[in-house]
Each structure stands twice: as structure tokens, then as C-alpha cells.
Amino acid sequence: MTSASEPRRLAVIGPDDVLAGVAPVPFERAGKLCEVGDHTHRGLLRVAAQVADHGLRRVVAPSGRAALEQGLRTACGWASAAQDLRAVRQQRSECYASFRAIEATTVRAVRASVASLPAQAGALEAHADSVVWRYVRLAVRLAVEAVVLTLDGVTTPASLAPVVQHVAAARAYQATALGAGRNPDLLIRAKRQAEFEAEDHGDGSHTPDVLALQLLHEYLGVRWKVLHDAERATIDEFVSWAISGDVAR
């Protein structure tokens, strides 16, 4: 016990103690405080696996999901003591190694499933098309990483919280790519606004073409943020419900 004469000391808080906001607070805090293999840890692992599964089923092409689905089954198997750590590590390696193949498979599937855009008329249209496919690839990468993080969470519980953020971001990239990213009206508005700014407010350092590229990314960024926040709200609601029992206390 500290006597009245002794100076009070603030507790030292390390970087690992800070919550990053990548998941609901009770979930992220529980991942930092639980012990590997305890009841809370196993519960968090099952919840993270459900969130990761939600992401891969909506972002990754069905033909590219086999390794990822097996990885999540293995993580849940460990949580129920049906799988050992060696199986988890093997599945983690296989999921990580299959990323490029999963990305290529998904991009091919998405290209085959969406209508072709009109012939590209200029640099802005060509750039917008490249952004669409970059976003599709980013969505796949984040969905795969969510599965890998779930498997990492078997030995490092704090790795489970970022699964929520990864899946929300993956869904937002995919929806932005296939929605606003392929909307010709967005390019028309970007061009018009760029011409207006260059003529009435420009200082000569930015041409309409350069401004149009900046505006396109501003428009897409806003759309991504709206979609991301909506997806986070949905996932957070599920996670909060799922851990409302023993895990949350």
C-alpha cells in the first residue's frame, strides 16, 4: 500500500495496451487481456472466424475459397480442441501462399461477370478502369489477410481484432470498385468540376486533366468511407451481440 508521504505514480502504458479502434472495444480489449487457450480466447476466435468468413464469401470468387475455408475450419477446430497447433500452422502457410492464385481467380471471375464498359475515350477513363481492378485486388488481399489473421489469432489473440477492420475495408473496396468506380456519370462530373476549377479558381499549376484525376479519387474516397462505415456498423453489431456473454465481461 502507498503511504500518504509517497508520491503517486502513473501506471506505465505501453504501445500494446492502446486500443486501435479496429473492432468493438470489448472485443479488442478482450483479445489483449485473455490468455492463450482460455475460454475467452476460444470464443473470440470463433467470432473472428465468422467475420472472416463473411468477408471471403462476399469478396472472393467461389472457386478461390477452398484453402481459406479450410483455414477457418481449422481455426475453429483448434478452438474446440479438435485440431492441434501443427494443423493451424500448416493451414496458415497454405492460405498465405495461395494469395496470388486467389487474387487472379477472383479478378477473372469478376471480369467475366460484369458488363464491359464502352471503349476508353481518354486518360481519365483508362485510369478509372485501372482503379476499379486495383480496388478489386485490394478487396481480395484484405479478405485473405483476415483469414490469415484469424489463424494467427490462435497463438496471438490480439491478432483477432484487426479481422473486423480488414473485412469492412475489403467490402468497401469491392463495392466502390463495382459501383462508383464503374459509373460513367462520376467521370463526367469530375471533368466538369475540373474545368470549372481550372478556369475560375486555378493558378495555372493544375490542368483540367490533373484536377479531374484528383477529383475522381476524392469522389471514390468519399464513397469508400461511406461504405466502410456502414459495413463496420453491421459487423460491429454482430460482434457485440456475439460477445455479449462471457467474452464481453
Report residues of the chain scoring pLDDT below 70: 1-17, 117-120, 201-205, 245-249
Question: Around Cβ 88, how many Cβ atoms within 10 Å?
Answer: 21
Q: What is the pLDDT of residues 217-236, one digit of tens each?
A: 999 999 999 999 999 999 99
Instruction: Please tell me the predicted confidence (pLDDT) of residue 203.
Output: 59
The predicted pLDDT at position 91 comes to: 97
Place of cell 485510369: 127
Nearest to residue 209, comparing CAs of 229, 222, 195, 223? Answer: 195
pLDDT at 4: 56
Indicate the SS3 state at residue 101: helix
pLDDT of residue 213: 93
Task: Write out pLDDT tens, residues 102-133.
Answer: 999 999 999 998 877 666 578 899 999 999 99
Cα separation, 138 vs 60, whole angstroms = 11
Give exposure, 168-192, as e/b (b: 16+ Cβ within 10 Å). bbbbbbbbbbbebbbeeebbeebbe
pLDDT, position 248: 43
With beta carbons less than 8 A apart as the criterion, state whether 17 and 32 touch: yes
pLDDT at 1: 47
pLDDT score for 201 = 65
